[in-house]
Amino acid sequence: MNLTKKMLLGSVLAYSLSIIHVQAQIEDKRGILEKGAELVKVQDGFSFTEGPAVNRFGDVFFTDQPNNKIYKWNAISNEVSLFKDEAGRSNGMYFMLDGNLLTCADEDNQLWSIDSDGDVQILISAFKGKKLNGPNDLWVRPKGGLFFTDPLYVRPYWEGIRGKEMEQDGEHVYFLSEDRAELFRVAEDLVKPNGIVGSPDGKYLYVADIGDKKTYKYEIREDGYLTNKELFCEMGSDGMTIDSRGNLYLTGDGVTVFDRKGEKIAHIPVPAKWTANVVFGSLDRKTLFITAMDAVYTLRMKTQGVW
């Protein structure tokens, strides 16, 4: 169905009143989906959707990175509206409790904080005087401080030597302290770290090494350093999320769910060549919000996301 999209700031995107239900064979061994749940296409017409982040009201903000925009999905009205243009080519995002939106703004290899009015504060612009590769995804731990991944994906909007020569000595995982005074590496032995999320209790960190098709689990020390690395599953991931039971949701070929022991318990096919990211939205945190190529989808769950 071809619909005209309104792309002006603050305007609401046109969307189909007859929401498209995507029929698919969903594998669900533990009954984590709501009974009778169907994958619903909320909106299409984007270039590449990424970075879903949920605010305290259950609304989900997501990016259309090639078009340099951040959109908002209203959990009550099911409407999509433009939140910010010229969004720094934001990728992964995360909401702070104060309402500020943290984003991996890889147009200039930075980490941003965006307030409710769309005003930007640059949190990180370099590491030891050199540009980062391009912050990709991040997670804020309950005790404060945040972790982010820094793989290299050469962007067509980078000019000159950028993208041709990596300024850092590899693709790593970093920790930024709560007071923003300390920035240091916490994982330096991965091929291409991408998706990242922590356990609800803040004790463990999961990092997807998409370059090596593996996901690892670490213990988080009080100071932010990581210890006791162990293989969680033989699958990498783009973005990912976790529910209140500790189940991990990985993306790429649809959404694949693993329990806290690393056993595969569900697979949710998505009608797209690539599923980039996922988060729990709605006020009850039982709506799985999925970004996949040119569209965004929702799926009602029995399991619940983490506040």
Read off the pLDDT of residues 264-275 as tens digits, 9 standing for 90 and up: 999 999 999 999
Say what the pTM is.
0.92
For the chain, domain boundaries: 22-297
pLDDT of residue 13: 46
pLDDT reading at 209 higher than 50? yes
CA-CA distance, 192 to 172, in Å (whole number)?
A: 8
CATH number given to 22-297: 2.120.10.30
> For the chain, what percent of residues have pLDDT higher than 70?
91
164 or 182, which is more confident?
182
Q: Which of 305, 297, 304 is nearest to 26 (CA)?
A: 297
Q: Which of 268, 281, 280, 274 is nearest to 295 (CA)?
A: 274
Least confident of 9-13, 113-117, 249-253: 9-13
What are the Cα distances from residue 257, in Å, to 59, 247, 271, 300? 23, 7, 17, 15
Residue 9 confidence class, pLDDT cut points 50, 70, 90: very low
CA-CA distance, 46 to 148, in Å (whole number)?
A: 25
CB atoms within 10 A of CB 275: 26
pLDDT reading at 4 higher than 80? no
pLDDT reading at 88 higher than 60? yes
Asked if residue 102 lies in contact with residue 96, where contact means CB atoms within 8 angstroms, the answer is yes
Instruction: Report, as an integer, the average pLDDT of 274-292.
Output: 98
pLDDT reading at 92 higher than 50? yes
pLDDT reading at 224 higher than 80? yes
Least confident of 17-26, 186-195, 207-216: 17-26
| Burial category of 76 from C-beta neighbours within 10 Å (exposed 0-12, middle 13-18, buried 19 and up) | exposed
Residue 238 confidence class, pLDDT cut points 50, 70, 90: very high
Q: Which of 164, 172, 88 is nearest to 128 (CA)?
A: 172
Least confident of 10-19, 39-48, 175-184: 10-19
**Residue-wise pLDDT tens digits, 110-167:** 999 999 999 999 999 999 999 999 999 999 999 999 999 999 998 888 876 555 678 9
CA-CA distance, 91 to 87, in Å (whole number)?
A: 9
pLDDT of residue 162: 57
Helix (H, G, I), strand (E, B) or coil at 209: strand
> For the chain, what percent of residues have pLDDT higher than 90?
86
Alpha helices by DSSP H, the chain: none
pLDDT averaged over every residue in the chain = 91
pLDDT reading at 18 higher than 70? no
pLDDT of residue 144: 93
pLDDT of residue 10: 39
DSSP code, position 5? P
Instruction: Report, as an integer, the average pLDDT of 22-37.
Output: 84
Structure tokens at 81: 């509206």
What are the Cα distances from residue 142, in Å, to 30, 32, 96, 145, 222? 28, 25, 10, 8, 11
Instruction: Report, as an integer, the average pLDDT of 247-255.
Output: 98
| Burial category of 81 from C-beta neighbours within 10 Å (exposed 0-12, middle 13-18, buried 19 and up) | middle
Only one residue has tokens 């619909």, namely 3
